[in-house]
Chains A and B, each alone.
Chain A
C-alpha cells in the first residue's frame, strides 16, 4: 500500500458542485499539505497543517477549505467547484529533520475536471 493515498484519483464534475478530495497517510508524519498543479507549472500550495489543531492557508486558498480529521487524514473541499479549479491535486506529508530539511512525500494525485 502507498504511504500517502489520495481518493478519488480522477473526478469529473459540474460547475457549482461540492467536491471533497481525501488524503490518508501511514508515514506517521505530523505535517500534511495540499498542492495544486496546472499544466506547465509547478506546484502551488493551497493549505497546510502541522498537526491536528493547526490549519494554515497557502498561496491559493480562495475557493477551497480543508479538514484535518486525524493525524493521518487531511481532506480538501471545493464548496462550489468552478472550471478554473480543473487541475491535478497532490497531497503531501513531511517530517522535518533536526537539520532543517523538510522532505515531502506525495500521493499519486487526484485529477479533477470541472465542466
Chain B
C-alpha cells in the first residue's frame, strides 16, 4: 500500500462546477499536510496548507480528518485555469515529504 493515495481521475468538469479530491495517508505520525498544483511538465507549486480546523482560500477549501487519515480539497466555481494536476503531500517528523501520484483535473468550457 502506498503511503499517500489519491484518486488519479481524470476529473473532467464544466466551468462553474464544484469538484472535490480526496487523499488518504497511512502514517499516523504525519505532521503536516499540503496540496500542491502542478501544470504540465512544470514544477509543483504550493496551493495551500491543510490545517486541522480546515481552511479556505477563495474558491479552495481544504479539510483534514486525522482520525480517518484523509485530507480533501474542494474547488468551487471551477475556472479553465484550474486545469492541472493536484498533488497531495504529507510531511512526517522524520523530515520527509511524501507525494501522492496526483489527481488530474480538466475544466472544460
Contacts and interface: CB of A to CB of B under 8 A. Distances in A.
B21 interface: no
Interface in A96-115: 96, 99-104, 106-109, 111
Contact of B96 (A40, A58, A88, A103): A58
A94 B46 CA distance: 12
Contact of B101 (A33, A40, A108): A40
Contact of B87 (A42, A44, A58, A109): A42
A51 B96 CA distance: 14
B102 A42 contact: yes
Contacts of A102: 32, 91, 95, 97
Q: How big is chain B's contact interface, by range?
A: 20 to 34
Contacts of B99: 35, 42-44
B69 interface: no
Nearest to B89: A104
Interface in B31-46: 31-32, 34, 36, 41-46
A33 B89 CA distance: 15
Contacts of A108: 42-43
14 contacts: A40-B8, A41-B101, A42-B99, A42-B101, A50-B95, A88-B41, A94-B97, A100-B91, A101-B32, A101-B34, A102-B32, A102-B95, A104-B44, A109-B41
Interface of A: 31, 33, 35, 40-45, 48, 50, 58, 88, 90, 94, 96, 99-104, 106-109, 111
Interface of B: 4, 8, 31-32, 34, 36, 41-46, 49, 87, 89, 91, 93, 95-102
Given A31-B95, A88-B41, A101-B32, 10 more contacts: A40-B8, A41-B102, A42-B4, A42-B101, A43-B87, A45-B97, A101-B31, A102-B32, A102-B97, A104-B36
